Amino acid sequence: MTQRIPVVENILNANDRLAEENRARLDSAGVFAINLMASPGAGKTSMIEQTLPRLKDRLRIAAVDGDIATSIDADRAAAAGALASVQINTGGECHLDAVMLQGALNQLDLTQFDLLIVENVGNLVCPASFKLGTHKSILVASVPEGDDKPYKYPGMYRGVDALIINKIDLLPYIPFKMDYFQRGVEALNPGVITFPISCRTGEGLDAWIDWLLQNVKR
């Protein structure tokens, strides 16, 4: 145990240095990048599919999709309007890291894009520890997951810049206490900007799109 802690710290420190390099490349190219995180099935890819058609006539968008296997999500992003879509297969790793993103950036001409959407591997633990170099970290929670997730996974909720609560169209049918959920979020991340949305009905998506546009323009 006494030997493991320095090893973990060294890994994270090395990752952070590469993340800074990734950020510098994005800044130099004028690309705003977001890291989209969630548990499996919360709706990361659905969010991308709803976001891209609303922005593709106003922004040049690239997508990087991380999964343990397959290119399904990258294919969906391309079909939804991404000008370029890069798939990262982690081969069993439960998160993306700065090295993986660096490899994806090498496949893109960043000067051709305004916005980069990175879809992380579905997981509520590991992605919180590994910086990528993106400008904002976004967590997608969903009503079917339950209202106790901020209490069970504090590390993930504590470190994000914005929170999306997806599938709010299911609130009448699922015992999800929004006030309990939001109290847990507020205790970990006071004042975090939150977007209650439904990818199925489109409710709440306009506010999310406006927020993205404002950040890209900055």
| pLDDT 10s digits, 39-69 | 999 999 999 999 999 998 999 999 999 988 7
pTM above 0.85, yes or no: yes
pLDDT at 12: 79
Q: Taking a C-beta distance cutoff of 8 angstroms, is the pair 119, 95 a contact? A: no
pLDDT at 79: 93
Q: Report, as ranges of residue numbers, the positions in the chain whose pLDDT lies below 70.
A: 1-11
pLDDT at 7: 47
Q: Across 15-174, where does the E strand assignment appear? A: 32-38, 61-67, 84-89, 115-119, 136-142, 162-166
pLDDT at 218: 80
Q: One-letter amino acid identity for 183?
A: R
pLDDT at 68: 81
In order of start, what are the domains of the chain with their CATH numbers?
A: 4-217 (3.40.50.300)
